[in-house]
A and B are shown apart, each in its own frame.
Chain A
Amino acid sequence: MTTKRVNFESVIRELLWYLSGENHIRNLRRHTKIWDAWADADGNLETAYGHYWRHFPSATKGENGQWQVREVDQIRYVIDAIKRDPNSRRLVVTAWEPGNATTSKLPPCHYTYAFHVINGKLNCHLTQRSGDIALGIPFNLAAYAALTQIIAQECGLSVGKFAHTIVDAHIYCAKPGSETADYDHVEGLKKQLTREPLPLSRLVIAKKPIDELKFEDFQLVGYQCHEAIKFKVAV
Chain B
Amino acid sequence: MRDVSRLAALMEEHTMQVYLDLVRTVLDEGTFKPSRTGIDTISYFSRTIRSIWRKGIRS
Contact = CB atoms under 8 A, between A and B. Distances in A.
B56 A159 contact: yes
Contacts of B49: 163-164, 166
Which label, helix, strand, loop or mixed, suits the secondary structure of the A interface?
mixed
Contacts, number: 133
Question: Size class of A's contact patch?
Answer: 35 or more
B5 interface: no
User: Is chain B's interface secondary structure helix, strand, loop, or mixed overall?
Assistant: mixed
A173 interface: yes
A198 B53 CA distance: 16
Interface in B9-59: 12, 14-17, 19-20, 22-27, 30, 32-33, 35, 37-53, 55-59
Given A163-B49, A192-B23, A197-B14, A149 B33 contact: no
Contacts of B26: 133, 169-171
B30 A149 contact: no
Given A165-B48, A197-B16, A170 B53 contact: no
